Structure 1
Amino acid sequence: MEYSEGIVNIINGPVVKGTNMSSFKVNEMVTVGEQKLIGEVVSIEEDVATVQVYEETEGLKAGEKIYPTGSPLSVTLGPGMLGNIFDGIQRPLQRIQQMSSDFIPEGIGLLSLDRSKEWQVTILVKVGDVLKSGDVYATVQETTSILHKLMVPYNIGGAVKEVKTDGKYTIEETIVVLENNKGEQLNLTLYCKWPVRKPRPIADRIPIYKPLITGQRVIDSFYPVAKGGTVGLPGGFGTGKTVTQHQFAKWSDADIIVYIGCGERGNEMTDVLEEFPALIDPRTDRPLMERTILIANTSNMPVAAREASIYTGITMAEYYRDMGYDVAIMADSTSRWAEALREISGRLEEMPAEEGYPAYLPSRLAEFYERAGCVKTLSGEEASVTIIGAVSPAGGDFSEPVTENTKRFVTAFLALDKKLAYARHYPAINYLTSYSGYVTMLEDWYKKNVAEDMIELRNKMIRLLQEEEKLNEIVQLVGEDVLPNDQALVLETARMIKKGFLQQNALHPEDTYVVLDKQYKMLQVIDLFYENAIKCVKMGIPISTIRSEDVLQDIFKMKYEIPNDKLELLDELKIKVVETYSNLRQKYE
């Protein structure tokens, strides 16, 4: 079918209507006007089409032309993505800065990966080999820690006819030629393109069974996150969403991190862009950026590109997943993305639903979170994409539509609490309203890799915190002094759990990251204190005497004073707890 060019008719911010567009397709990428602004067709009615433009439309005039490209909005996938900083439609910001130092100029086209850079390629196939979709035909050492595997694109296969030798190539050079069963020749280069709104294919989904270790005690021990899982991270202004996601990015045992700053404030995104390149990866002692992709789409960037940035990020994550890597994607924040949907929906004159959001908000959120998962790739490897989506409800109201709908589609919900944040309790994850559906799925892993009673111990600590919450209502009415000793001990133990275990200092060298074995032993110490102290209470020993023992200070300070590699000191502390309260009971006998 021959393509004609559309004609701009109506301009409403990022939404442009064009006539003479009956030959265009929905979701097709187009270029608009003399400046060739990048856009996407969102609806067609007879020969009138609506296009959302991913750049500023200032200066665009009615009567200018809309040019087809014949393909949907796609990203270029290949070496050069790691360590790079892109905007919402995969244009490299560092390269754009060299072209225009202050703002992104309009009409610069769809720049993506550097096409002039040469990569050292190792070819893995020979003439005569038969390849199918997902087979790895060459590798590139993209960074020190990540080997980039070049895979046969989906729906392509055939016998190898020509092969280049190992050497340096740009991403556009053909290195392998296939011949399919129709006799057609297919050229394989170092990159491929993929439409962002379409999930990349997999061989099979596999049940979730292993955790994403973050080194954050409240997450790993209380509300674990699984590899291939989905996490909602809601919180009002100043509750620490971004810092919590930074901790995920820096310390989690994912191979690759994709961080999407979606509609966040410019100064907050600047912190990320300045901090990440300076961070050292604790696993490799190399810059963390070597296994990170940043997508920066600040609140003053075009609103339509913000809507696309989530899809750009998840498509990149799926590409590395297909190589066999565990990828974690941070979306900060999905609320700003939903606001972009709302704004575009309003300009498209669609019927608004709750709080002005479009009626399709739940299905769009579901589509996004459903792209997470633990999978068997086309090449037969096991890999995962974990999605951690921050939500910024206005005024911290968790009953608003984005938070409510996110809750429906995520399995772990880490609710950040304003009261905890104001009390300087970080991470400010509310230990009573948060939940994780992965606890039962991961129980076998914890039993095998940490301890038989790890989940049991965790459940016991949560019960003590729930009991303390009920007792606090009585304390507020009549004061703590009137409580019986056993209930006063519950309050003391809960304080120990909160201050000594759940509260964690991201800036302290020993406390910023804690290995699972240390977390388990810390819980054991607190449990031993409670079990031994309750025996003292039953003997009639006053709670004030139990509290006055020096060992209590050791328990509160264990998170700072006992390093991850000296866990025998925790065993000594356990012995000290038992001996202290055993001696105390002997005095009263």
Structure 2
Amino acid sequence: MSQATETQVTEDGTIASVSGPVVVATDLGARMNDVVYVGEEGLMGEVIEIEGNRTTIQVYEETSNVAPGEPVENTGEPLSVDLGPGMLYSIYDGVQRPLDVLEDRMGAFLDRGVDAPGIDMEETWAFTPTVEEGDTVEAGDIVGTVPETESIEHKVLVPPDYEGGEITSVEEGEFTVEDTVVELDSGEDVTMHQEWPVREARPTLDKETPTTPLVTGQRVQDGLFPLAKGGTAAIPGPFGSGKTVTQQSLAKFADADIVIYIGCGERGNEMTEVIDDFPELEDPNTGKPLMSRTCLIANTSNMPVAARESCVYTGITIAEYYRDMGYDVALMADSTSRWAEAMREISSRLEEMPGEEGYPAYLAARLSEFYERAGYFQNINGTEGSISAVGAVSPPGGDFSEPVTQNTLRIVKTFWALDADLAERRHFPAINWDESYSLYRDQLDPWFEENVASDWPDVRQWAIDTLDEESELQEIVQLVGEDALPDDQQLTLEIARYLREAFLQQNALDDVDAYSAPEKTYLIMQAIKTYNDEAFAALDAGVPVDEITDIDAAPRLNRIGTTAEYEEYIDEIEADVEEQLREKY
């Protein structure tokens, strides 16, 4: 809940009926979104509908053996998360229960009704104040710092719903998150611990147009379909096309300060891979452990469906908290389709009027509410921060016309469409360049022109045009064969092949090729364009197309990605291309 004092409704009730994760209680004096504890075991649930004396609750745990007549205890508070130092390195379930803490307590299989705070209330942290007695602070202001991990300095904030005032006492030293570190003349005490309702966005001053790219290290994304810091993106694709691997690559290599990874209804083996791999990985930006800037939320497909519905809200609220400190946050939701399916199941149990394909009529609104909490913001404390939201979508059978994909397309501005055919041909990342797009190109071009190359937009547009022309020519090739094409079109197909193999493909298992800096991405595009320009000059001079494509230098383009000293290597290739082609005419 928020920090403000409220009149709490705590009248308890009785279970009237149970239908899977949906429980109906009577005589429960609750409000919408209040957290309740259901049955003799005290299973956590949330009020989602009130009609007369009947209150409908979605329970975040398995409800077998829960029977009518058992008590329901109302807390009078909405579903909230614990915010403070200690969230990084953590692995939570969908309602922010720390899985590693609960495993230590009871083993790999958790009992029902168990709970633990989202952060350790007893651990002490070294608090260094950034304010002094007599200073005046307002809601959201930074009052001190804590070294949370090797990579991240945690900034202690005045809660957003405090009045603020003049500081009457501030101390430096070792404190738990519940100890008072700053006292105000308004009577409010600031601690390192906050609570915030997950379904309520934390306040900001303004939302601005993002102008800096979120560099992902993936050439097809940074080069052709960039995402802004504070932008929104969708990764739709059928089973086996690489959605999870693509999001994991983003989590590893994106140049965000903080990464929130939400495994929403995914297979257990995929989440196990994330949980096992991330602690072993090194952050390419800092050289420190990747988990030192990462928070994982694991909600696998065998976990209760209601917790799946809440996990994205838990993740975005944690992201907003770090954004308020002035950090750039990358949030990965894998996948929003499983989230939508959880909404559909709960909606059907509530007997609500179904929309398209059985999804609730408010599907589009819920998706919009989630993605709208991303953005580039002016915070209320004067800092700037961003949340970049990337949601994977799992359309059944790869059908992009289904409701979740279509509604997501109306909201996000970057679309990375995964293609099962490309995956089967071992082309990774399997992002289809004909179906993907980015609406951030124009606003990000000035950054690329200033920081990478002044002709970045021109070279990128040449690559896109060449790939588009190849797609059109492939339809003709299927009918008459490549040899029937004019020489210039045959040469275009050859150039496009190098774009596909040397530029668009990337080996995630190769230490060098797994990450491609924007400078490298540009130079690879430029090297292929140099070959294109020289090749067409030779063709215009009368050199046969077979002699142009047979030069020794051209196949070396495919090895640029895996070459560590790529700048020198590219210079050699470009020099050899010019020499070998020009000597032919």
> TM-score by structure 1 length?
0.96
1:95 to 77, 90, 101: 101
Matches within 5 A, 1:281-360: 281-360=283-362
Partners of 1:547 and 1:202 in 2: how far apart? 57
Partners of 1:205 and 1:54 in 2: how far apart? 33
Q: Is the 8 A contact 1:36 1:109 kept in 2?
A: no
Query: Quick one: which amino acid aligns to residue 163 of structure 2?
Result: G
Aligned-residue offset at 1:460: 1.1
What is aligned with 1:170? 176
Q: Is the 8 A contact 2:168 2:185 kept in 1?
A: no
Aligned-residue offset at 1:26: 0.6
Say if 2:33 is the partner of 1:27: yes
Aligned partner of residue 421 in structure 2, secondary structure: helix
Partners of 1:518 and 1:504 in 2: how far apart? 12
What is aligned with 1:450? 452
Q: Is the 8 A contact 1:321 1:383 kept in 2?
A: yes
Say if 2:147 is the partner of 1:145: no
What is aligned with 1:439? 441
Query: Quick one: which amino acid aligns to residue 207 of structure 1?
Result: T
Partners of 2:260 and 2:567 in 1: how far apart? 33
Partners of 1:359 and 1:454 in 2: how far apart? 43
What is aligned with 1:266? 268
Partners of 2:291 and 2:499 in 1: how far apart? 35
Matches within 5 A, 1:215-294: 215-294=217-296
Q: Is the 8 A contact 1:130 1:157 kept in 2?
A: no
Partners of 2:10 and 2:303 in 1: how far apart? 31
Partners of 1:275 and 1:186 in 2: how far apart? 43
1:547 to 541, 549, 559: 549
What is aligned with 2:51? 45
Partners of 1:386 and 1:108 in 2: how far apart? 33
Query: Quick one: which amino acid aligns to residue 276 of structure 2?
Result: E
What is aligned with 1:496? 498
What is aligned with 1:36? 42
Cα shift readout 1:274-307 (whole Å, capped 9, x = no counterpart): 0111111112222100000000000011100000
Cα shift readout 1:164-215 (whole Å, capped 9, x = no counterpart): 53211111111211122xxxx1121111000000111111112110000111
Aligned partner of residue 212 in structure 1, secondary structure: coil
Aligned-residue offset at 1:110: 5.0
Long gaps (5+) in structure 2: 1-6
Corresponding pairs, count:
578
Any runs of at least 4 consecutive aligned residues in structure 1 with deviations exceeding 4 A, and if so which? none
Partners of 1:99 and 1:348 in 2: how far apart? 35
What is aligned with 1:104? 110
Cα shift readout 1:140-183 (whole Å, capped 9, x = no counterpart): 10001100001001131333454353211111111211122xxx
Partners of 1:375 and 1:37 in 2: how far apart? 37
Cα shift readout 1:15-41 (whole Å, capped 9, x = no counterpart): 0001112x3101111111221111111
Partners of 1:454 and 1:419 in 2: how far apart? 30
> TM-score by structure 2 length?
0.97
Cα shift readout 1:536-581 (whole Å, capped 9, x = no counterpart): 2223322111111101122222222253xx5243233222222221
Query: Quick one: which amino acid aligns to residue 26 of structure 1?
Result: M
Q: Percent identity?
A: 51
Say if 2:23 is the partner of 1:16: yes
Partners of 2:223 and 2:347 in 1: how far apart? 41
Say if 2:181 is the partner of 1:179: no
What is aligned with 2:199? 197
Partners of 2:110 and 2:168 in 1: how far apart? 42
Q: Provide the aligned C-alpha RMSD in A.
A: 1.3
Partners of 1:86 and 1:394 in 2: how far apart? 28
Q: Is the 8 A contact 1:327 1:384 kept in 2?
A: yes
Q: Is the 8 A contact 1:461 1:497 kept in 2?
A: yes
Cα shift readout 1:508-536 (whole Å, capped 9, x = no counterpart): 12211111112111111111111111122
What is aligned with 2:14? 7
Aligned partner of residue 433 in structure 1, secondary structure: coil
Aligned-residue offset at 1:111: 3.0
Partners of 2:82 and 2:405 in 1: how far apart? 32
Aligned-residue offset at 1:317: 0.4
Partners of 1:235 and 1:266 in 2: how far apart? 19
What is aligned with 1:575? 575
